[in-house]
Structure 1
Amino acid sequence: MSEMARNPTHYRLLAALKAIGPYLREGQCKEGFYLFDCLAVCVNDKKSPEKREFWGWWMELNASGDGFEANYHIGRYNLAGEWDSDAPPAKALPEVSRIQEEFHQKLEDTLQQRFALTLTLDAKSAEFV
């Protein structure tokens, strides 16, 4: 593995992370820190689109040693465009968890295969059921 692959620049990492899916909050990222989120399940789809809230997850990815550490959170994306740590109802959890698991596997594969970087979970990371 080349030295460049093992020590990718911030911009090479951004490009690779964007390719995983629509989850990267590029404007809130900086070198060594990347923010992702996913609006998985609409809280009330009977409301007009601009008044909808969503159950989902967000994750902070921090550089750590020879790789990155992921800290996931589960909650509700509110009308103000912010995340609240509210517990989703039981009927929303399977979909939130399924999407998170698929994303995490893609993230782990990308970091390992493209850059030979490890991915570990932060001790405070939310557990998905």
Structure 2
Amino acid sequence: MSKVTKIPTHFRLLTSLRAIGPYLRESQSREGFYLFDCLGVCVDDKKSPEEREFWGWWLELEMQGQEFAARYRVGKYDKLGEWVNDPLPKEAVAEVNRIQNNFHQKLVEVLEKEFGVLVTLHDKSVEFV
């Protein structure tokens, strides 16, 4: 049974969330809400870097009471730097799912084991296989 502790401060959470990997969008996060994303698979790597788009996922992690609700979404990160809710093509699904599952496992370890804060999937979250 894990020991439940006081919710950590925003700045302590940021430090731990940064350590998970390059996914945290710190400038778009605020106390109680953290945004992550992952550009998993390049749509067309023959394009110049500034024109490239990616298949991937993004996560809105929001404090709800004494736990975090994780709302994952999948789609395409377009050349304007915006996420678009598009279904992943078959050739990108396995890689995007692999990256997301690895990330989610690390996220749960940090929040639940380090801080005693439960992470649940939001009812509108995409489920990864």
Q: Structure 1 length normalisation: TM-score?
A: 0.94
One-letter amino acid matched to 1:68 = F
Query: CA-to-partner distance for each residue in 1:18-53, whole Å, 9 max, x for gaps?
Result: 000000000001110000000000000111111100
Instruction: Find out whether 1:36 has 2:36 as its counterpart.
Output: yes
One-letter amino acid matched to 2:36 = F
For these two proteins, the number of residue pairs brought into alignment is 128
Residue 83 of structure 2 corresponds to which residue in structure 1?
A: 83
Deviating 4+ runs (over 4 angstroms) = none
Q: Give me the whole-angstrom Cα distance separating, in 1, the residues matched to 2:120 and 2:70.
A: 6
What does residue range 93-104 of structure 1 map to in structure 2 within 5 Å?
93-104=93-104
Residue 52 of structure 2 corresponds to which residue in structure 1?
A: 52
On the 8 A contact 2:40/2:55 being kept in 1, the answer is: yes
What does residue range 1-129 of structure 1 map to in structure 2 within 5 Å?
5-129=5-129
Query: CA-to-partner distance for each residue in 1:64-119, whole Å, 9 max, x for gaps?
Result: 22220100000000010000001111010000000000000000000011100000
Q: Structure 2 length normalisation: TM-score?
A: 0.94
Counterpart secondary structure, 2:110: helix
One-letter amino acid matched to 1:120 = T
Query: Which runs of 5 or more residues in structure 1 are unaligned?
Result: none
Query: Which runs of 5 or more residues in structure 2 are unaligned?
Result: none
Q: Give me the whole-angstrom Cα distance separating, in 2, the residues matched to 1:124 and 1:2.
A: 29
**C-alpha spacing 1:98/1:2, structure 2 compared with 1 (3 Å):** closer
One-letter amino acid matched to 1:69 = A
- What root-mean-square deviation, in Å, do the aligned CA atoms of Structure 1 and Structure 2 show? 1.5
On the 8 A contact 2:23/2:37 being kept in 1, the answer is: yes
Q: 1:55 offset after TM fit, Å?
A: 0.1
